[in-house]
Structure 1
Amino acid sequence: MEKPVFVEFDGKLNVAIRRMNFRMPKCNQDQRRGFRVAVTALVLAMWGLSCVAERDEPLLSDGVVATVGSFEISDRHFTNQLKRFYLRTGQAVNLNEEVRLGVLDARIERYAIVEYAREQGWDREPDALYNRALIERKVLMEAYQRHFIHDLVQVTESHEREVFRRYNTTLRASHLFAETRREADSLYNLLQNGATFDSLAPSVFRDPELASSGGDLGYFSLDEMDIAFEEQAYSMQPGQISAPVKTSRGYSIIKLTEVAAAPMLTETEFARRRSSLRQVARAQQEELATRADIRQVTSAMDWNEAGIDVLWELISENSSLYQAHNPELNELPLPVDDGARDVVLARYQGFRFTVGDFLTEAYYTTPARRAQASGFDQFREQLEGMVYRSYALGLINNYPSLDRAFIQGSIEETFYGYLFERFEGYIDQQVRVDEAQVRAAFDSYPEEFASPLHLEVAEMVFTSESTAERVAERLRQGASFEEQLQEYGAPVESKRRQGYIGNLPVTEFGAIGPALRDVQAGEYAGPFQIAEDYYLVLRVLGRTESRALSFREAEPQVRDYVFRTRRQQQRTAKITELKSRYNAYVDLQRLNTLSFEL
């Protein structure tokens, strides 16, 4: 199994790149954002290609395709990044010479920024050192999970078939949520004594829709809920109510209300999707195994309940200190006597967790997370998480087969992402926009700031081109959109909202925008292929024609335009300067002859 690469590369890239996609297939918001960031990073890199030196004779070490400052970009590093880019763009990009060079230049830009950050001393600032320590702990925790949990997970065909079943089965459920086990057990007891979801939901939820609907979550399918929630829901029958289920956010009591399965699941379809099904199954089994490990370790701990009570009293009396953050310290500044620091709060198989350890672990728990401890139960769960983390870090730090070079490289690479963000913030601070510039931009290009054509649309998503074409033809012949959506539409969330997307400017539709400009209300457009196994049919519900805007109406838009334009100019100029300062160089001959498998 290939080792994971720990890279943060989102940055504050305020450039909207929509020409390559409109909506992504069955993925969450982070994955969609990842796609846009990947494309944005590539396009921005293309603008800076001429800033990289090209020499007639390669001057690099064997296996190295580019250098910048003290960094060497190896063939393996580059091909890993190219594969990541390919996957993040939905495998919809031709990896030609231009794209290769763009991906490589994005890495050169990244490392040029890191060199500059070091030169400025940003890597030695207190906040930077604190974040580096957080990164180190995160990387080590992932190593613990990999060596002690994930490597032991076995994915069988039955796991793959269960994922396939869930992919083709839609559930509808309601839930009652509680932050703590005590609250969840109280709700469950009320249900056992005759209370209903409808009667309890108003006191449980702040969200008016959940409160008024008895906690109805609508329809969902594979990988759309917390894995523990999903595991429980798919094991139930309609009408059943579960005991409290521990999720990543708290506890849920689930009532299954509907099950809708695909009429026929074929072996051909299973075989075609088996590779992706196995990936999902492995991810799910690894997460379940991780949670099981947490339960096993924390339940086996010998807890000093009296000591924990005393600690909670101290925190209650000093809540502002418990939630404080001072990156110049190395532990939480609670007023603990020296003699109390060695008091043991938990022990397990030779492992001891003291009050002093707590001050350290709490310090490396984010202030926002600490602030959630509004009562003893929430604090106790936080404490269990800290103890588990300390236990796991102790094991992995003493693991004899730990690849420490890889761990260190992962820490460094992730920390470079922090420095990259620091650079983007620095660029933001350099940009100044005055009223004269805003007015001049509007006067020069008033047509650019018109309100564009808006389309109110609903979508229908398909994984098969033939099905998309067949349903599109039925719709044009008068078939009911709602009925076709429920029978054939792919994403459950889309079905739940009746396919409705919203009232969007036509520019938001990217490459398919021109095909939509003449579509009238009540008409259909498509199918459009958005990515592999992802086809889209749109129903236009209404149109709002474009119109000119007054300066007052357009001013926020104009100001943002001027800021982004000036920011990009300053950023490009700075990157050009840094590439020159740190002697960025690409071996183009080597780049264009590298071969690899996707």
Structure 2
Amino acid sequence: MYRTSLLLFVLLFPWLPGCGEARQTPLLTVAGEPVSAETFRTAYVDYLLQTGLKDDARLRDGFLQRLITTKLVVREARDAGIEQEEGFRFFREKARRKLLVEAFADRVLFDTIRVTEAELAEVFVRMNTQLRARHLYAPTRETAEALYARLQAGESFETLAREVFADTTLARSGGDLGYFSFDEMDPAFEEAAFALRPGEISAPVRTAYGYSIIRVEDRFTKPILTETEFAAKKDRLEAYVLRRKRAQARSAYVRHAAAALAVTFHEPAFSHLVDQAAGRAGITDDETAAAFLEAPLVSFGPLDSRRTWTVADFRERARFTGAARRAAIDTRAEMEDFVRGLAVQEAMIEQAEAAGLDDLPEFREALRRALDEWIWEQAFTRIVAGTVVPEDTLRAHYEAYRDAFVVPERVRVREILVATKAEAESLRVRLGRTRFEDLARRYSLRPGADATGGDLGYVTRDQLGVLGPKVFEAAPGAVLGPIEVKGRYVLLEIGDRQPARPAPFEEARAEIERQLREHFEMKRFREHADRLRTRYDVQVHREAAARLAAALDAKKTS
């Protein structure tokens, strides 16, 4: 909690030279940098609103002291040369690109967005409405269109749900999602569902997860909605509608811009890139790897100024996106969407630069805050990195809470991962005459399965996530599946079990250390922060502090 609250200060305070602080009354000066009373007051009030805490002198002083600590830590890291490190340079470029895209969106996409009373009223009704709906999921538009055609031809939701959801609760319930209300589903899903009357079926709807075909079963709206209720929630509704309209505007712009760029993909490099992302292919020797990186991958842009990215060009842009986003790419369609998005992002950045948005004071301030946030995180991690929990403390904690440390029940599992349900079903039929591990070695897409025979080892219920109950209910020797997992299909062979048992100290040691480590990390950090106060000059200007306290007290009693 202490670390999180310190990070909040980095986000709240605009520590930019020349941003007006020098012309305001300084509340304090830390290592030569002034912080104005007005800057502190604004951030402190925001902090109270976010946390729900009530102002008092003790809280005020704690906020001030933690602010000083944060500034000292960032200053020390800068003095130590963190800005010359490769990690800093990478993050700076990543933050710069992200902020340019946001600046472009603010100026070009969001500038004319307004929220009307009719929109607020519609959302207010949705807040007081519950829908019950079914849906069919498809990973691609082509699959979704095929499912929709089969529905139109007379096949039932229940039949198709058993097909698309494999062996899941949704398969058994005919895709029934139960009742849901406002802001509980994907925005595009919600928009389509609320536009339907009971019994109506939507065309395929693009969501963040793929495509859905929706049938509304029931709708219930609270019968009495008052103006007083509407007025009390109007501000929150307006913020919500504005946020959603901006997200919709951005999505629409990306779709239209991608179409205008006329993105085309070059083979065989693109197919090989998809196989790499899905874990189906690799490059073994340096010469082949170098040739692959230089191969043309994608072309886009107007006819008179089209450009082509090689695989290396693509990877240079892709590394500025989140690792989780890259790791989620399994199919060709997902890779195509990802590359189109990068091409549109590149165009937005270039337009923002051409308009000089990166020279605006507010842009420079936002970039500086982002960099300070990164520096703070890096510095904190380095300060506490050498923390050691004393051995006698670990053992004393174990003896005091021995009964709490248990090695959970585990079951051994083998897995075969394939791309399609039909392939999984075909392999399951062959299990009568071929060993599970032999099929895993030959057909499983899981990296390393050729060596392990699909053996995942002994796993706990928690490690298996939603599959946990199903696996732990199965008898040794049983084969489960096909089960859909993120657009692919698995077969699971259940092995022997290891029952739960008390954990001896050596097995519990890592968990005990995890439980106690934060306390010792914060002790180490506080000691370091105390040393920084002797190294750098810190001045709190008491007259300004007194005036600020009086102003806050007056505001509190007014």
Structure 1 and Structure 2 fold alike (TM over 0.5) = yes
Q: Which residue of 1 aligns with 2:40?
A: 78
The one-character-per-residue Cα deviations of 1:389-417 (angstroms, maximum 9, x if unpaired) are: 01111111122466522212212211222
Which residue of 273, 276, 288 maps to 1:315? 273
- CA separation of 1:254/1:429 partners in 2, compared to 1, >3 Å: closer, same or farther? same
Can you list the C-alpha shifts for 1:176-208, whole angstroms capped at 9, x where unaligned? 333332332233233333333333334434783
Gaps in structure 1 of 5+ consecutive residues: 1-12, 16-36, 43-58, 325-331, 452-548
Q: Is 2:520 the partner of 1:562?
A: no
Cα separation, 2, equivalents of 1:407 and 1:277 = 28
What does residue range 142-541 of structure 1 map to in structure 2 within 5 Å?
142-205=102-165, 208-303=168-263, 305=264, 307-316=265-274, 335-337=292-294, 345-348=299-302, 352-356=306-310, 358-400=314-356, 404-441=360-397, 446=400
- Give the corresponding residue for 1:582: 536
2:98 corresponds in structure 1 to 138
Question: 2:225 and 2:337 mapped to 1: Cα distance?
Answer: 42
In structure 2, relative to structure 1, the CA distance for the partners of 1:317 and 1:440 (3 Å cut) is closer
Note the alpha carbon deviations across 1:291-312, whole angstroms, 9 max, x for none: 1111221222333x3x444541
**Structure 1 residues 255 and 83: CA distance shift in structure 2, 3 A:** farther
Whether contact under 8 Å (2:137, 2:144) holds in the other structure is yes
Q: Deviations over 1:246-300 (max 9, x none)?
A: 2233222222222221111111221222222211121111111111111221222
What is the alpha-carbon distance in structure 1 between the residues aligned to residue 219 and residue 305 of structure 2? 47
Whether the aligned pair in 2 keeps the contact of 1:243 and 1:253 (CA below 8 Å) is yes
Q: Distance in 2 between matches of 1:432 and 1:71?
A: 34
Aligned partner of 1:580: which letter? T
Q: Which of 69, 72, 76 does residue 31 from structure 2 map onto?
A: 69
Between the aligned partners of 1:372 and 1:558, the Cα distance in structure 2 is 33
Partner of 2:60: 100
Match of 1:335, SS? Answer: helix
Q: Greater CA deviation, 75-84 or 59-68?
A: 59-68
1:344–1:352 CA contact under 8 A, matched in 2: no
Query: In 1, Cα distance between the equivalents of 2:70 and 2:349?
Result: 30
Closer/same/farther in 2, CA of residues 179 and 569 from structure 1, 3 Å limit: same
2:408: which partner in 1? none
- Describe the shift of the 1:277–1:568 C-alpha distance in structure 2 as closer, same or farther (beyond 3 A): same
Task: Report if aligned partners of 2:148, 2:203 keep a CA contact under 8 Å in 1.
Answer: yes
Does the 8 Å CA contact 1:69/1:584 hold for their aligned counterparts? yes
Instruction: Measure, in 1, the Cα distance between the counterparts of 2:511 and 2:186.
Output: 38
Q: 1:396 to 1:39 in 2, by over 3 A?
A: closer
* Cα distance per residue 1:450-469 (max 9 Å; x no partner): 98xxxxxxxxxxxxxxxxxx
- 2-side partners of 1:333 and 1:404: how far apart? 40
> What is the distance in 2 between the residues matched to 1:245 and 1:395?
31
Paired position in structure 2 for 1:530:
none
Q: What is the CA deviation profile of residues 148-194 of structure 1, one whole-angstrom value per residue up to 9, with x for unaligned ones? A: 11121011111111111111112222323333323322332333333
On the 8 A contact 1:64/1:74 being kept in 2, the answer is: yes
What SS does structure 2 have at the residue aligned with 1:200?
A: helix
Question: Structure 2 CA distance, aligned partners of 1:41 and 1:383?
Answer: 34
CA contact (8 A) 1:323 1:368 kept: no
* Cα distance in 1 between the residues matched to 2:173 and 2:540: 60
Preserved CA contact (<8 Å) 1:177 1:204: yes
Tell me: CA distance 1:204–1:120, structure 2 relative to 1, closer, same or farther (3 Å): farther
Tell me how far 1:442 sits from its aligned partner: 6.0
**C-alpha contact (below 8 Å) 1:239/1:256 kept by paired residues:** yes
In structure 1, give the amino acid aligned to 2:101: M
Conserved? CA contact 1:69–1:582, under 8 Å: yes
- TM, length-normalised to structure 1: 0.64
Counterparts of 1:449 and 1:66, CA distance in 2: 49
Q: Distance in 2 between matches of 1:365 and 1:333?
A: 23
Deviation per CA, 1:81-123: give whole Å up to 9, x if none. 224322322xx22123332333333332222221222244444
Cα 1:362–1:577, aligned 2, differ >3 Å: closer, same or farther?
Answer: same
- How far did residue 438 of structure 1 move? 1.7
User: How far is 1:127 from its partner?
Assistant: 2.9
Say if 1:312 and 1:401 are closer, same or farther in 2 by CA, change over 3 A. Answer: closer
Q: What is the one-letter code of the residue matched to 1:408?
A: R
For 2:121 and 2:202, the matched residues in 1 are separated by 24
Q: Higher RCO, 1 or 2 (CA under 8 Å, sep at least 6)?
A: 1
Report the Cα offset of residue 377 of structure 1: 1.5
Distance 1:450 1:386, change over 3 A: same
Which amino acid in the other structure matches residue 54 of structure 2? N
- Aligned partners of 1:315 and 1:322 also within 8 Å: no
Q: 1:181 to 1:442 in 2, by over 3 A?
A: same
Q: Secondary structure at the match of 1:66?
A: strand
Contact 1:346 1:353 in 2 (8 A): yes
Assess if the C-alpha contact under 8 Å between 1:38 and 1:85 holds in 2.
no
What is the count of residue pairs matched by the alignment?
435
| Equivalent residue in structure 1 for 2:89, among 129, 136, 140 | 129
Report how far residue 587 of structure 1 moved.
2.7
Q: Distance in 2 between matches of 1:317 and 1:41?
A: 41
Amino acid of the structure 1 residue aligned with 2:211: Y
Structure 1 residues 168 and 121: CA distance shift in structure 2, 3 A: same
> Given the superposition, is the C-alpha separation of residues 117 and 173 from structure 1 closer, same or farther in structure 2, using an over 3 Å criterion?
farther
AA of the residue aligned to 2:130: T
Q: SS at 1:152's partner residue?
A: coil
Amino acid at match of 1:99: L
Contact 1:14 1:564 in 2 (8 A): no
**CA distance change for structure 1 residues 572 and 354 in 2, over 3 Å: closer, same or farther?**
same
User: Percent of pairs identical after alignment?
Assistant: 29
Which has the larger displacement, 167-176 or 279-288? 167-176
Tell whether the 8 Å contact from 1:68 to 1:579 is kept in structure 2 after alignment: no
SS in 1 for 2:379: helix
